Amino acid sequence: MDSFSIEKPVRYYDQVYNSIRERIVQGVLKPGDSVFEARIARELNISRSPVREAVRALEKEGLLVIDEKSRITVYKPSMKDIVDIYGCRIALESLAAGLTTRYATSQEIAEIENTVVNAKKYLNMDGEQNRLALIEENSRFHDLITKYSQNRRLMKQLRDLKSLSHYYRVLNFQGENREWIVFNEHQEILDQIKRRNEENASLMMKKHLETDLLHLREIFAKQLNPKKTE
């Protein structure tokens, strides 16, 4: 008998979850926008049950907010949120960079390097899809460094921040030459990891995330006071 495989159908919950999450991350659903379970169910021609399940999962991740009257809105960041989340990331990811430098195999480091190589390819391409692919490669860079730290508790804490971190990474690419700035900083971190210099890899990651935080604070300040920045 010829070998064959049966592909499992994608669950409605997963489809709804991915659809809503993608709309939020890509900015189709903007901070503070209302989300209506019944409307999503009608649009997708499904029952409300998987929509409700997806909404609760996204609330748990922090991308949706449900108030005391059960109104659902897209997460709206505050300056304190940005500072708090990046404070956690700076502490955890700088540690992860040092640990990965110590423990990662040559093959694992090559996998991290591949994200930088791919990112450079997308830097020279126009179009929204290429921009999103670039952001994904940059997210993967951070995810792999966390993964190869071999510290499960550290991984869990960063996993809890994953959705909001990705949301901020999309915002972080706003601004002139931001793609190249981020790419060059990733290259510097990678160079230190390849040299097995734990202290410098950790320091470069810390500086990289501090630069991201400063840039995000500037973006957020402009959104709050657009007239002052004209």
Write down the residue that tokens 């190249």 correspond to.
Answer: 180
In a domain, 60, yes or no: yes
Q: How far apart are CA 2 and CA 213, in angstroms?
A: 55
Q: How far apart are CA 120 and CA 122, in angstroms?
A: 5
For the chain, what is the domain count?
2
Tens of each residue's pLDDT in the chain, 230 residues? 455 444 455 677 888 888 898 888 777 888 889 999 999 999 888 889 999 999 999 998 888 999 998 899 998 888 898 899 999 999 999 999 999 999 999 999 999 999 999 999 998 788 878 888 998 999 999 999 999 999 999 999 998 888 788 778 777 888 888 999 999 999 999 999 999 999 999 999 999 999 999 999 988 887 666 555 44
**Residues 30 and 131 reside in one and the same domain:** no
In a domain, 4, yes or no: no
* 48 CB-near residues (< 8 Å, 6+ apart): 37, 38, 41
- Please say whether the beta carbons of 52 and 121 come within 8 A: no
- CA-based radius of gyration for the chain: 19
14 three-state secondary structure:
helix
Q: What are phi and psi of 7, to 5 degrees?
A: -80, 130
- 78: nearest Cα among 31, 23, 33, 35: 31
**Residues 182 and 115 reside in one and the same domain:** yes
In a domain, 1, yes or no: no
Last residue of a domain, one of 55, 74, 93: 74
Write down the residue that tokens 């609760």 correspond to.
Answer: 56
**Residues 218 and 140 reside in one and the same domain:** yes
Last residue of a domain, one of 36, 52, 74: 74
**Residues 192 and 91 reside in one and the same domain:** yes
Tokens at 64, concatenated: 């949706």
Say if pTM beats, i.e. exceeds, 0.75.
yes
For the chain, the residue count is 230
126 three-state secondary structure:
coil
In a domain, 120, yes or no: yes
**Residues 141 and 38 reside in one and the same domain:** no
Task: Give the residue numbers spanning the domain of 63.
Answer: 12-74
**Residues 69 and 91 reside in one and the same domain:** no
Tokens at 39, concatenated: 């409307």
**Residues 22 and 64 reside in one and the same domain:** yes
**Residues 153 and 90 reside in one and the same domain:** yes
In a domain, 3, yes or no: no
In CATH, what number is assigned to the domain containing residue 171?
1.20.120.530
In CATH, what number is assigned to the domain containing residue 47?
1.10.10.10
In a domain, 2, yes or no: no
Cross-strand pairs, 136: none
**Residues 151 and 207 reside in one and the same domain:** yes
Could you tell me where the DSSP H helices lie in 72-151?
Answer: 79-103, 106-123, 128-147
Q: How far apart are CA 51 and CA 16, in angstroms?
A: 6
Q: How far apart are CA 50 and CA 48, in angstroms?
A: 6
**Residues 115 and 142 reside in one and the same domain:** yes
